[in-house]
Amino acid sequence: MISLKQIDQTKENMHLVVLYNELKELSDIVKTELETSFVKSQIKSNKEIIVFNQYSRFVFLIQKPKETDIPKKAEKLRRLGFEIQKIIDDYGIKEIQIENNTPSTLNILDFIEGLALGSYRFLKYKTDKKKHSLETIYAVDLSLDKAQLKELQNVVEAVFVARDLVNEPLSYLTAEVFSEEMEKIGKESGFKVEVFNKSKIESLKMGGLLAVNKGAKNHPTFNVLEYKPKNAVNEQPIVLVGKGVVYDTGGYSLKPADSMEWMKCDMAGAAAVVATFKAVAENKLPINLIGLIPATENRLDGNAIVPGDVIEMYNGKTVEVLNTDAEGRLILGDALAYAQKYKPILVVDLATLTGSALRALGHQGSIYLGTASSEIKIQFEKTGHLVHERLVEFPIWDEYDEEIKSDIADLKNIGGSEAGAITAGMFLKHFTNYPWLHFDIAGTAFLNKEDNYRGKSGTGVGVRLLYKYLKIFSSVS
Ligand code: BES
Ligand code: ZN
Ligand code: ZN
């Protein structure tokens, strides 16, 4: 991770990025007539990033985006940060200073965020471990608080942890190894992790998790994360639940090969929960949080569940499993029912749950639904715009419940061919008795082609969203 530092003054001999309002304010940077006329011509031809050379250093000039809408402006700055990251990398630059000549500190933070997020590489399995070249960013902005840089650094690092976990294949990241990773992160960052092993899961009768695990080669785990600072603003916790299917073959309802290719990403919800705990704990947010992560692979062998099987969930409800590829809701149902014992003020689950969510919004946003108050929903939607992890609410009208009624059990685990993201959500609702939100991140958790600072493969979606939401929650409660 690039380290973020602050300095009081720009240095003569270091590569320089300048965020500016008006060209006339740049008289101590754009000095000679030649430079001035070059810069003017670049502005005329609408270059967003103006690059020129001053002997031993490059100067990159970036005019403050014209957008007045705050979230749009922030996103524009992140993207510019990403663009600069690419140029810096091409030149093999190791250190840069970024001077903020605009009136808002937010501008430089958003810009650095895009730059830093864009520098992510997953190199573990490459023999040539060529990283990004940039090592240190020096921010030159006197109104900037050092703590703000530290906070940003922690959040970006947390996003990287989520991406790493998502990018890890099953050949490394089984449920048990995932739990070890959680324990390691918890120790480093300051939150507790309790791992329930298979026999504990059996004694708790988590029938959904055990059913999905029946065809697996490796044992399941159920992970309880706890962050409980003394100065917490809430007594009853907020609970974050993450789908931790470390690989989804579909089971006997086997996926076709081309939809299976990326199914190591099926624990992205869990990764986002773990990484959010990391960011929250490292930035010491005053908030009581519980995390619940059921983890297993969904695979097939002679013992795997088959379509038609009836299982009993942790809360005693029975489910007819008509499609073994609708496994996420089975393990989440157990976790959501388990969450009841905390008497939570809010439960948020994140899951790569349905292809239907992906088809509805593509990669541009996540579907959400649930029973939480409209205040909470509005706050999440706003936060989604701020961090550009956008959310669209889908309805949970009672009529959809008809779709998941079983002939022989309380519920069946699939609805009809339509409204799949909703019927999946309706299924989960049966396991909740508290204010609840469900985020279906199937479209946003993993990208098959690069998309600016989100990169390619695991995006770490959810981490910046949850962190920001919890930060606002803990500062206004
Ligand atoms: N893990 C998948 C959903 C998914 C799809 C995640 C694409 C990421 C990208 C989930 O377990 C699944 O297979 N859902 C089925 C449910 C269906 C059988 C009711 C789906 O959406 O097709
Ligand atoms: Zn599935
Ligand atoms: Zn799945």
- Pocket test of ligand 1: the residue of 252, 353, 367, 413 to mutate, having most ligand atoms within 8 Å of its CB, is 353
322 residue type, one letter: L
What would you measure as the largest C-alpha separation in the chain, in angstroms? 83
What residues does ligand 1 touch, defined as CB less than 6 Å away? 248, 266, 323, 325-328, 352-356, 358, 414, 420, 442
Written as six digits, the tokens of 192 are: 């507790």
Are the beta carbons of 469 and 380 closer than 8 angstroms? yes
pLDDT score at 105: 84
Percent of the chain's residues with pLDDT above 70: 100
The residue nearest atom 5 of ligand 1, judged by CA position, is 355
Mean pLDDT over 32-52 rounds to 95
Tens of pLDDT, residues 103-120:
888 899 999 999 999 999
Query: CA–CA separation, 223 vs 219, rounded Å?
Result: 13
Atom of ligand 1 nearest to the CA of 352: 6
pLDDT score at 164: 98
Residue 422 has pLDDT above 90, yes or no: yes
The residue nearest atom 17 of ligand 1, judged by CA position, is 326
Confidence of residue 312 (pLDDT cuts 50, 70, 90): very high
Cα 446 to middle of ligand 3, angstroms: 13
Query: CA–CA separation, 370 vs 391, rounded Å?
Result: 13
pLDDT score at 103: 86
Mean pLDDT over 213-240 rounds to 98
Cα 284 to middle of ligand 1, angstroms: 35
Mean pLDDT over 415-434 rounds to 98
Query: CA–CA separation, 173 vs 138, rounded Å?
Result: 36
Query: CA–CA separation, 208 vs 199, rounded Å?
Result: 14
Residue 477 has pLDDT above 90, yes or no: no
Tens of pLDDT, residues 426-475:
999 999 999 999 999 999 999 999 999 999 999 999 999 999 999 999 99
Residues 6+ apart with CB under 8 A from 166: 264, 265, 267, 268, 271, 445, 446, 457, 458, 459, 460
Q: What is the pTM of this model?
A: 0.98
Query: CA–CA separation, 210 vs 44, rounded Å?
Result: 64
Percent of the chain's residues with pLDDT above 90: 95
Surrounding residues of ion ligand 2, Cβ less than 5 A: 248, 325, 327
Mean pLDDT over 405-421 rounds to 98
Length, in residues, of the chain: 477
pLDDT score at 386: 98
Catalytic residue, candidates 214, 329, 454, 464: 329
Tell me whether strands 244-248 and 309-312 are parallel, antiparallel or unpaired.
unpaired
Cα 325 to middle of ligand 1, angstroms: 7
**In the predicted model, what is the mean pLDDT of the chain?**
97
Q: Which residues on adjacent β-strands are paired with residue 391?
A: 366
User: CB burial class (10 A; 0-12, 13-18, 19+) of residue 347?
Assistant: buried
- Which contacts (CB < 8 Å, 24+ apart) does range 175-180 have? 175/218, 175/219, 175/220, 175/221, 175/244, 175/246, 175/295, 175/296, 175/297, 176/218, 176/219, 176/221, 178/221, 178/223, 178/244, 178/246, 178/267, 178/270, 178/295, 179/221, 179/223, 179/295
Catalytic residue, candidates 255, 284, 317, 456: 255
Residue 55 has pLDDT above 90, yes or no: no
pLDDT score at 178: 99
Confidence of residue 357 (pLDDT cuts 50, 70, 90): very high
pLDDT score at 106: 80
Mean pLDDT over 53-75 rounds to 94
pLDDT score at 195: 99
Cα 300 to middle of ligand 2, angstroms: 12
CA 348-210-204 angle, 5° bins = 75
Tens of pLDDT, residues 364-378:
999 999 999 999 999
* Inter-axis angle of helices 268-282 and 463-476, nearest 10: 40
Mean pLDDT over 258-270 rounds to 97
